[in-house]
Amino acid sequence: MKHNIVTFVTLTALVLSSVIFWETGFVEFVLIGIGVIYLACTAYGSSKIEANYFINSIHIGKSKGVALTFDDGPDPKTTPAILAVLKKFDVTATFFVIGKKAELYPDLLRQMDAEGHTIANHSYSHSYGIGFFSTKRLSDDIARCNEVIAAILGKTPILFRPPFGVTNPRYAAALKKNGMISVGWSLRSLDTQAKNKYQVIEKVISNIKRRDIVLLHDHLPVTADALEDIIEHCRNKRVLLEPLSKVINKDPYVKI
Protein backbone atom coordinates (compact mmCIF):
# COMPACT_ATOMS: atom_id res chain seq x y z
CA MET A 1 0.00 0.00 0.00
CA LYS A 2 1.47 3.27 -1.13
CA HIS A 3 -0.42 5.15 1.59
CA ASN A 4 1.86 3.70 4.30
CA ILE A 5 4.98 4.78 2.39
CA VAL A 6 3.62 8.31 1.77
CA THR A 7 2.66 8.63 5.46
CA PHE A 8 6.14 7.50 6.55
CA VAL A 9 7.87 9.89 4.13
CA THR A 10 5.59 12.76 5.23
CA LEU A 11 6.25 12.20 8.94
CA THR A 12 9.99 11.99 8.28
CA ALA A 13 9.86 15.20 6.21
CA LEU A 14 7.91 16.96 8.97
CA VAL A 15 10.47 15.98 11.63
CA LEU A 16 13.50 16.86 9.47
CA SER A 17 11.96 20.14 8.31
CA SER A 18 11.15 21.11 11.89
CA VAL A 19 14.81 20.61 12.84
CA ILE A 20 16.30 22.24 9.72
CA PHE A 21 13.97 25.23 9.48
CA TRP A 22 13.24 25.71 13.19
CA GLU A 23 15.26 28.91 13.54
CA THR A 24 14.05 30.41 10.27
CA GLY A 25 11.01 32.60 9.83
CA PHE A 26 9.26 30.28 7.40
CA VAL A 27 9.11 26.98 9.29
CA GLU A 28 5.28 27.20 9.41
CA PHE A 29 5.08 27.53 5.63
CA VAL A 30 7.29 24.49 5.09
CA LEU A 31 5.23 22.36 7.48
CA ILE A 32 1.91 23.55 6.02
CA GLY A 33 3.26 22.87 2.51
CA ILE A 34 4.15 19.29 3.46
CA GLY A 35 0.69 18.86 5.00
CA VAL A 36 -1.04 20.13 1.85
CA ILE A 37 0.99 17.77 -0.36
CA TYR A 38 0.08 14.86 1.96
CA LEU A 39 -3.64 15.69 1.81
CA ALA A 40 -3.48 16.02 -1.99
CA CYS A 41 -1.82 12.60 -2.28
CA THR A 42 -4.46 11.07 0.02
CA ALA A 43 -7.35 12.63 -1.90
CA TYR A 44 -5.90 11.45 -5.23
CA GLY A 45 -5.24 7.96 -3.86
CA SER A 46 -8.74 7.51 -2.47
CA SER A 47 -10.46 8.65 -5.67
CA LYS A 48 -8.26 6.66 -8.08
CA ILE A 49 -8.61 2.94 -7.51
CA GLU A 50 -6.03 2.47 -10.31
CA ALA A 51 -3.38 4.08 -8.09
CA ASN A 52 -3.46 1.09 -5.64
CA TYR A 53 -2.94 3.72 -2.97
CA PHE A 54 -4.87 2.23 -0.04
CA ILE A 55 -5.56 -1.29 -1.29
CA ASN A 56 -4.16 -3.45 -4.06
CA SER A 57 -6.79 -4.02 -6.73
CA ILE A 58 -6.56 -6.01 -9.94
CA HIS A 59 -6.86 -3.62 -12.88
CA ILE A 60 -5.66 -5.57 -15.87
CA GLY A 61 -5.89 -9.15 -17.06
CA LYS A 62 -3.23 -11.80 -17.36
CA SER A 63 -4.59 -13.57 -20.42
CA LYS A 64 -5.03 -12.02 -23.87
CA GLY A 65 -8.78 -11.82 -23.49
CA VAL A 66 -10.92 -8.83 -22.53
CA ALA A 67 -13.46 -8.98 -19.70
CA LEU A 68 -16.74 -7.07 -19.78
CA THR A 69 -17.90 -6.07 -16.29
CA PHE A 70 -21.21 -4.48 -15.32
CA ASP A 71 -21.77 -2.56 -12.07
CA ASP A 72 -24.80 -1.29 -10.15
CA GLY A 73 -27.43 -3.82 -11.17
CA PRO A 74 -29.48 -5.85 -11.33
CA ASP A 75 -32.10 -3.58 -12.86
CA PRO A 76 -35.45 -4.95 -14.11
CA LYS A 77 -35.59 -2.40 -16.96
CA THR A 78 -32.13 -2.76 -18.48
CA THR A 79 -30.39 -5.91 -17.20
CA PRO A 80 -32.68 -8.26 -19.23
CA ALA A 81 -31.78 -6.38 -22.43
CA ILE A 82 -28.07 -6.70 -21.62
CA LEU A 83 -28.44 -10.40 -20.87
CA ALA A 84 -30.25 -10.87 -24.19
CA VAL A 85 -27.39 -9.26 -26.15
CA LEU A 86 -24.76 -11.30 -24.29
CA LYS A 87 -26.75 -14.48 -25.02
CA LYS A 88 -27.15 -13.57 -28.70
CA PHE A 89 -23.36 -13.33 -29.09
CA ASP A 90 -22.56 -16.12 -26.64
CA VAL A 91 -20.46 -13.81 -24.46
CA THR A 92 -20.15 -14.22 -20.70
CA ALA A 93 -19.65 -11.21 -18.44
CA THR A 94 -19.28 -10.37 -14.77
CA PHE A 95 -21.93 -8.47 -12.81
CA PHE A 96 -20.82 -6.56 -9.72
CA VAL A 97 -24.26 -6.44 -8.15
CA ILE A 98 -25.58 -4.23 -5.37
CA GLY A 99 -26.89 -6.44 -2.56
CA LYS A 100 -30.10 -4.50 -1.89
CA LYS A 101 -31.02 -4.67 -5.59
CA ALA A 102 -30.15 -8.39 -5.80
CA GLU A 103 -32.55 -8.92 -2.89
CA LEU A 104 -35.34 -7.28 -4.91
CA TYR A 105 -34.64 -9.10 -8.19
CA PRO A 106 -33.31 -12.57 -7.33
CA ASP A 107 -34.60 -14.03 -10.60
CA LEU A 108 -32.22 -11.79 -12.54
CA LEU A 109 -29.30 -13.20 -10.54
CA ARG A 110 -30.52 -16.73 -11.21
CA GLN A 111 -30.73 -15.92 -14.92
CA MET A 112 -27.20 -14.45 -14.94
CA ASP A 113 -25.86 -17.54 -13.23
CA ALA A 114 -27.81 -19.97 -15.44
CA GLU A 115 -26.46 -18.22 -18.55
CA GLY A 116 -22.85 -18.61 -17.43
CA HIS A 117 -22.14 -15.12 -16.10
CA THR A 118 -20.25 -14.42 -12.90
CA ILE A 119 -21.84 -12.59 -9.99
CA ALA A 120 -19.55 -10.44 -7.86
CA ASN A 121 -19.96 -8.10 -4.88
CA HIS A 122 -20.41 -4.33 -5.21
CA SER A 123 -21.49 -3.81 -1.54
CA TYR A 124 -24.99 -4.16 -0.09
CA SER A 125 -25.89 -0.49 0.26
CA HIS A 126 -23.76 1.27 -2.39
CA SER A 127 -24.21 4.20 0.00
CA TYR A 128 -22.87 7.62 -0.96
CA GLY A 129 -21.43 7.70 2.54
CA ILE A 130 -19.67 4.33 2.29
CA GLY A 131 -16.30 6.07 2.19
CA PHE A 132 -16.99 7.26 5.75
CA PHE A 133 -18.16 3.89 7.13
CA SER A 134 -16.18 2.43 10.03
CA THR A 135 -14.24 -0.76 9.30
CA LYS A 136 -16.93 -2.82 11.08
CA ARG A 137 -19.82 -1.19 9.22
CA LEU A 138 -18.01 -1.51 5.89
CA SER A 139 -17.14 -5.14 6.54
CA ASP A 140 -20.77 -5.89 7.55
CA ASP A 141 -22.05 -4.17 4.39
CA ILE A 142 -19.77 -6.26 2.16
CA ALA A 143 -20.65 -9.44 4.08
CA ARG A 144 -24.39 -8.70 3.78
CA CYS A 145 -24.10 -8.49 -0.02
CA ASN A 146 -22.35 -11.87 -0.04
CA GLU A 147 -25.08 -13.32 2.18
CA VAL A 148 -27.79 -12.12 -0.23
CA ILE A 149 -25.97 -13.62 -3.23
CA ALA A 150 -25.28 -16.89 -1.37
CA ALA A 151 -28.97 -17.17 -0.35
CA ILE A 152 -30.01 -16.84 -4.02
CA LEU A 153 -27.30 -18.83 -5.77
CA GLY A 154 -25.73 -21.01 -3.09
CA LYS A 155 -22.32 -19.53 -3.97
CA THR A 156 -20.26 -16.89 -2.18
CA PRO A 157 -18.37 -14.37 -4.34
CA ILE A 158 -14.68 -13.61 -3.88
CA LEU A 159 -14.45 -10.65 -6.28
CA PHE A 160 -15.37 -7.19 -5.00
CA ARG A 161 -15.43 -3.74 -6.58
CA PRO A 162 -15.58 -0.67 -4.30
CA PRO A 163 -18.55 1.62 -5.02
CA PHE A 164 -17.50 4.73 -6.96
CA GLY A 165 -13.98 3.28 -7.20
CA VAL A 166 -13.22 5.12 -3.96
CA THR A 167 -10.98 3.38 -1.44
CA ASN A 168 -9.55 4.10 2.02
CA PRO A 169 -7.50 2.18 4.63
CA ARG A 170 -10.66 0.55 6.07
CA TYR A 171 -11.26 -1.36 2.84
CA ALA A 172 -8.03 -3.31 3.31
CA ALA A 173 -9.22 -4.65 6.69
CA ALA A 174 -12.84 -5.20 5.55
CA LEU A 175 -11.81 -7.17 2.45
CA LYS A 176 -9.29 -9.23 4.38
CA LYS A 177 -11.95 -10.11 6.95
CA ASN A 178 -14.33 -11.23 4.19
CA GLY A 179 -11.60 -13.04 2.22
CA MET A 180 -12.24 -10.95 -0.87
CA ILE A 181 -10.19 -9.51 -3.73
CA SER A 182 -10.67 -5.98 -5.06
CA VAL A 183 -11.08 -5.63 -8.81
CA GLY A 184 -10.89 -2.28 -10.59
CA TRP A 185 -10.76 -1.69 -14.33
CA SER A 186 -8.40 -0.68 -17.10
CA LEU A 187 -10.99 0.85 -19.44
CA ARG A 188 -13.88 3.06 -18.33
CA SER A 189 -16.70 3.25 -20.83
CA LEU A 190 -17.85 6.52 -19.19
CA ASP A 191 -21.41 5.29 -19.80
CA THR A 192 -22.59 7.13 -16.66
CA GLN A 193 -21.76 10.42 -18.37
CA ALA A 194 -22.71 9.52 -21.95
CA LYS A 195 -25.50 11.43 -23.68
CA ASN A 196 -26.08 8.72 -26.30
CA LYS A 197 -24.94 5.20 -27.15
CA TYR A 198 -22.46 6.42 -29.75
CA GLN A 199 -20.34 8.08 -27.05
CA VAL A 200 -20.14 4.77 -25.15
CA ILE A 201 -19.35 2.78 -28.30
CA GLU A 202 -16.67 5.26 -29.38
CA LYS A 203 -15.01 5.37 -25.97
CA VAL A 204 -14.79 1.59 -25.75
CA ILE A 205 -13.90 0.60 -29.31
CA SER A 206 -11.29 3.30 -29.82
CA ASN A 207 -9.43 2.32 -26.64
CA ILE A 208 -9.97 -1.41 -26.19
CA LYS A 209 -6.86 -3.58 -26.06
CA ARG A 210 -5.90 -7.06 -24.93
CA ARG A 211 -6.11 -7.83 -21.20
CA ASP A 212 -8.56 -4.98 -20.60
CA ILE A 213 -11.15 -5.05 -17.83
CA VAL A 214 -13.98 -2.88 -19.18
CA LEU A 215 -16.22 -0.96 -16.76
CA LEU A 216 -19.87 -0.72 -17.83
CA HIS A 217 -23.16 -0.31 -15.92
CA ASP A 218 -26.16 -2.58 -16.47
CA HIS A 219 -28.69 -0.15 -14.95
CA LEU A 220 -28.23 2.32 -17.83
CA PRO A 221 -30.34 2.19 -21.02
CA VAL A 222 -27.47 3.78 -22.95
CA THR A 223 -25.23 0.82 -22.08
CA ALA A 224 -27.85 -1.71 -23.10
CA ASP A 225 -28.18 0.16 -26.43
CA ALA A 226 -24.41 0.29 -26.99
CA LEU A 227 -23.53 -3.29 -26.11
CA GLU A 228 -24.35 -4.98 -29.41
CA ASP A 229 -22.10 -2.60 -31.39
CA ILE A 230 -19.27 -3.02 -28.87
CA ILE A 231 -19.40 -6.82 -29.10
CA GLU A 232 -19.63 -6.74 -32.90
CA HIS A 233 -16.55 -4.50 -33.03
CA CYS A 234 -14.66 -6.92 -30.80
CA ARG A 235 -15.65 -9.82 -33.04
CA ASN A 236 -14.52 -7.96 -36.16
CA LYS A 237 -11.20 -7.02 -34.57
CA ARG A 238 -10.74 -10.54 -33.17
CA VAL A 239 -10.74 -9.24 -29.60
CA LEU A 240 -11.55 -12.26 -27.46
CA LEU A 241 -14.23 -11.57 -24.84
CA GLU A 242 -13.69 -13.88 -21.88
CA PRO A 243 -15.00 -14.23 -18.31
CA LEU A 244 -13.24 -11.94 -15.83
CA SER A 245 -12.16 -14.87 -13.65
CA LYS A 246 -10.33 -16.36 -16.65
CA VAL A 247 -8.78 -13.04 -17.69
CA ILE A 248 -7.41 -12.39 -14.18
CA ASN A 249 -6.89 -16.08 -13.34
CA LYS A 250 -8.80 -16.01 -10.04
CA ASP A 251 -11.62 -18.16 -8.68
CA PRO A 252 -14.85 -16.11 -8.65
CA TYR A 253 -16.48 -18.04 -5.78
CA VAL A 254 -15.45 -19.57 -2.48
CA LYS A 255 -14.77 -23.26 -2.96
CA ILE A 256 -17.21 -25.41 -1.02
74 touches 220 (CB < 8 A): no
Min dist. Cβ of residue 72 to Zn ion (A): 4
Min dist. Cβ of residue 162 to Zn ion (A): 8
From residue 119 to residue 158, what is the string marking binding to Zn ion with x (rule CB under 5 A)? ----------------------------------------
Candidates 162, 163, 184, 252; binder of Zn ion (CB under 5 A) is 163
Give me the catalytic one of 217, 218, 219, 225: 217
In the residue annotation, 71 being an active-site residue is answered as: yes
- Count of chain residues binding Zn ion (CB under 5 A): 3
In the residue annotation, 218 being an active-site residue is answered as: no
Of the two residues 34 and 123, which places its CB atom closer to Zn ion in the complex? 123
Candidates 45, 72, 148, 220; binder of Zn ion (CB under 5 A) is 72
Min dist. Cβ of residue 69 to Zn ion (A): 11
Give me the catalytic one of 71, 72, 140, 225: 71
Of the two residues 71 and 218, which places its CB atom closer to Zn ion in the complex? 71
Candidates 34, 71, 219, 220; binder of Zn ion (CB under 5 A) is 71
Nearest residue to 182 (alpha-carbon basis) of 59, 62, 41: 59
Catalytic positions? 71, 217
Which residues contact Zn ion (rule: CB under 5 A)? 71-72, 163
